[in-house]
Amino acid sequence: MALRCPIVSVLGHVDHGKTSLLDKIRRTRVTQREAGGITQHIGASEIPINTIKKVSKDLLGLFKADLSIPGILVIDTPGHEAFTSLRKRGGALADIAILVVDINEGFKPQTIEAINILKQCKTPFIVAANKVDRIPGWNSSEGPFILNFNEKNQHPNAMTEFEIRLYENIIKHLNELGFDADLFSRVKDTTKTINVVPVSAMTGEGVPDLLVIISGLAQKFLEQKLALNVEGYAKGTVLELKEEKGLGKTIDAIIYDGIAKTGDFLVVGNPDGVIVSKIKALLKPKELDEMRDPKDKFKPSKQISAATGVKISAPDLDSVIAGSPLRIVPKNQVDAAKEEVLQEVEEFTILTDDEGIIIKADTMGSLEALANELRKVNAKIKKAEVGDISKKDVIEASSYASSNPLNGLIISFNTKVLADAKAEIEKSDVKLLEGKIIYKLVEEYEEWTKEMEELMK
């Protein structure tokens, strides 16, 4: 049975090293001149299994099973906002996740938030215990962690310090959240215990271990799920909308299942339902050496298959929003695909209350995550929408406030405030909370609500 690439996402607290680790993974090379390096997709990078096997040849003994996945597809945008935006029916788009935790700093609010989201989506994950190079006295070098983790390479004090930080800052917290966890080389049953892989995004230490553990786990957990669907049409999720010179609005998407061909039809959700558009081109990034003119960054593909990232050029994409479900189908399957997409869009619709505040976000996934977190602190939500803050939103909030001042609030996650909305806010008594970190917005919501309640006494 052919397996597709598992899709991998990277999450974790700000500054714990997600971007650095992704960069390091993307730069994984066997040797300078050897072919078969990383394939750049739209919005994702594919690391072929041969590359993983070569960089980690000393570690493969850790796995009895042969790795039969073709590689892993790592989504380039880190953070749990990206993770929650990238959804598919019944859960997360990513099959598996890497949770990055600074081993010196330990668990932080966003670490816990990320774990809650992973739990909710039932996504298996491993922990990258990053910045091991900053453990006092640690002698960090590029290559496998387990070859570096011994009394020959490390001072005993550094070894002790490592063990303390590993336990106090990471394992203990995972245990408190109900997870069994251990250093990956000590894990006996990977289906019961979370693997903690020490890494340094700076030196590259532990990156081979990380790649081999994630591949092995993905294969073990996901053998069923990853069976390549060679018959069916392509299913995917919109990563973002991008204006491209000469092409107009294009969709960057991750395809998690099936096959797509040029000339097929794109069926994609938008806030009002579903749109259908004839595909002009399925585009992939050009390799650097194919790029004669830097403006000419893409090359068309006749056919693509999961899992992959792709840029879709088609007319009438203006109303499409990030996080939307999509299908790429031959003409005779457009109606069936429309049904599917509509059902998925409906699943994203957030139940609203009779009265309450307004929340807006940049994608369906982030809107849902924001709503979930707000509901945990008993917020009432009257309106939840994807999109920028408009004058209309402010006027609505102001009218909600007239019956209850606690409803005069708009919470914006990663959206713009349009100019006329700003002007309207100044004139009105509506409060606006803006931000890019969900838990901070929730905290600010609680503070504001408390202040208002005091004033109303």
Rounded alpha-carbon distances, angstroms, from residue 358 to 212, 242, 248: 45, 27, 32
Smallest gap from Cβ 133 to ligand GDP, in A, equals 5
Please choose which of Mg ion, ligand GDP, none residue 41 contacts, taking the beta carbon within 5 to 8 angstroms, the exact cut-off set by kind. Answer: none
201 binds, among Mg ion, ligand GDP, none (CB under 5 to 8 A by kind): ligand GDP
CA distance 6 to 219: 8
Residue nearest to ligand GDP (CB): 17
Mark 162-201 with x for binding to ligand GDP (rule: CB under 6 A) and - for no binding: --------------------------------------xx
Nearer to ligand GDP, 14 or 227 (CB): 14
CB closer to Mg ion, 3 vs 25: 25
Biggest CA pair distance of the chain: 72
Q: Does 277 bind Mg ion (CB under 5 A)?
A: no
Q: How far is the CB of 206 from ligand GDP (least distance, A)?
A: 9
Q: Which of 232, 318, 210 is nearest to 272 (CA)?
A: 318
Shortest Cβ distance from residue 137 to ligand GDP (Å)? 14
Least spacing, CB of residue 127 vs ligand GDP, in Å: 14
Provide the terminal-to-terminal Cα distance of the chain, rounded to the nearest Å: 67
Q: Which is closer to Mg ion, CB of 3 or CB of 128?
A: 128
Residues 6+ apart with CB under 8 A from 443: none
Q: Please tell me the distance from the alpha carbon of residue 251 to that of residue 295, in angstroms, as a whole number.
A: 18
In the bound state with ligand GDP, the residue whose beta carbon lies nearer, of 208 and 356, is 208
Strand order in the sheet with 234-244: 273-278, 265-270, 325-329, 234-244, 248-257, 308-313, 281-285, 298-301
The interface with ligand GDP within residues 4-33 (CB under 6 A) comprises: 12, 14-20
Give the amino acid at 6. P
DSSP string for residues in 391-430 = HHHHHHHHHHHHH-GGG-EEEEES--B-HHHHHHHHHS--
User: Residue 130 or residue 237: which is nearer to ligand GDP going by CB?
Assistant: 130
Structure tokens that stand for 445 in this block: 């919501």
- Closer to ligand GDP by Cβ: residue 130 or 250: 130
CA distance 248 to 119: 39
Instruction: Give the binding-site size for Mg ion (rule: CB under 5 A).
Output: 2
Spatial distance between the Cα atoms of 359 and 370, rounded to a whole number of angstroms: 8
User: CA geometry: angle at 19 spanning 269 and 283, to 5°?
Assistant: 45
**Closer to ligand GDP by Cβ: residue 145 or 184:** 145
Smallest distance from the beta carbon of 331 to ligand GDP, in angstroms?
Answer: 43
Report the nearest approach of Mg ion to the CB of residue 14 (Å).
7
Q: Interaction with Mg ion in 9-68: which residues (CB under 5 A)? A: 18-19
Query: In angstroms, what is the C-alpha Rg of the chain?
Result: 23
Q: Tell me which residues in 243-282 interact with ligand GDP (CB under 6 A).
A: none
Report the site for ligand GDP in 74-103 (rule: CB under 6 A): 78
Smallest distance from ligand GDP to CB 272, Å: 35
**Can you tell me the distance from the alpha carbon of 386 to that of 413, in angstroms, rounded to the nearest whole number?**
9
Q: Give, in order, the Cα–Cα distances in Å from 177 to each of 185, 190, 218, 370, 374.
A: 22, 18, 22, 21, 21
Smallest distance from the beta carbon of 207 to ligand GDP, in angstroms? 10
Partner that binds at residue 130, options ligand GDP, Mg ion, none, CB closer than 5 to 8 Å by kind: ligand GDP
Three-class secondary structure of residue 281 per DSSP? strand
Residue-wise DSSP of 363-378: SHHHHHHHHHHHHHTT
Question: Which lies closer to ligand GDP via its Cβ, residue 125 or residue 348?
Answer: 125
Q: Which is nearer to ligand GDP, 12 or 37 (CB)?
A: 12
Residues 108 to 167 in contact with ligand GDP, rule: CB under 6 A: 130-131, 133-134
- Among ligand GDP, Mg ion, none, residue 24 binds (CB under 5-8 Å by kind): none
Min CB(452)–ligand GDP separation in Å: 33
Nearer to ligand GDP, 10 or 72 (CB): 10
**How many CA atoms does the CB half-sphere of 176 hold within 13 Å?**
9
Residue nearest to Mg ion as judged by C-beta position: 19
Q: What angle is formed at CA 154 by the lines to CA 149 and CA 157, rounded to 5 degrees?
A: 115
Q: Are strands 431-435 and 409-413 parallel, antiparallel or unpaired?
A: parallel
Q: Which is nearer to Mg ion, 117 or 345 (CB)?
A: 117
Q: Which residues make up the interface to Mg ion (CB under 5 A)?
A: 18-19
Q: Which residues make up the interface to ligand GDP (CB under 6 A)?
A: 12, 14-20, 78, 130-131, 133-134, 200-202
